[in-house]
Amino acid sequence: MSKKVYIFLADGFEDIEGLTVVDLMRRAGIDIETVSIKESNEITTSHGIMMKTDRVFTGTDFSDADMLVLPGGMPGTKYLGEYQPLCDLLRDFYGKSGKVAAICAAPTVLASLGFLEGRKATAYPSCMEGLTGAEPSYESVVVDGNVTTSRGLGTAVDFALSLIGQLLGEEKADEIAESVVYSRK
């Protein structure tokens, strides 16, 4: 059975953090859709690349989600954290033990929602103090229960492979790593 993942994009998201997750998950056969939090599916990345998302948030039914993902980047992370419908969705999904994942600055959004309380977590170095209630970790990727956090662009492949491993098993994650000539630690 195919897994369903939604990754939420706002203007100013970090290109590599968002699109590495999309690319590697699609290679693994995971149905991942990019979702704009704007009324339009046109997004501009933090490095000025214009792209179109698969969907817009408004009117999308997320009831089939197996995982929700937030990429970092500024001001994208700020916009994600300020978008109340996304925060409401994350609260509801997390409350039902759904898997949530965030990289770079985006773990601060999870912290602001109380998801990191008493959990091990990581983030971009300058965002570590924003991990309210978390036990800070400096590992590339931290999985604590249904919450996964990662540090930044340099850990994006490890982050994506960890998410694939959680959804489809480590053998599949290893297969994808090998297919893109990436050595897992």
* H or E segment to which residue 116 belongs: none
Residue 183's CB is within 10 A of a number of other CB atoms, namely: 6
Which residue, chain included where needed, has tokens 């968002």?
18
* Catalytic position from the list 9, 102, 104, 109: 104
The dihedral built from the CA positions of residue 77, 95, 56 and 67, taken in this order, carries a sign that is positive
- Residue 127 among the catalytic residues: no
Interatomic CA distance for residues 67 and 59, integer angstroms: 18
Interatomic CA distance for residues 52 and 75, integer angstroms: 18
Residues 94-125: b if buried by 16+ CB within 10 A, e if exposed: beeebbbbbbbbbbbbbbebebbeebbbbbbe
* H or E segment to which residue 30 belongs: none
Report which of 144, 160, 15, 39 is spatially closest to residue 177, judged by C-alpha positions. 160
Burial of 169 from C-beta contacts in 10 A (0-12 / 13-18 / 19+): exposed
Q: Which residues are catalytically annotated?
A: 104
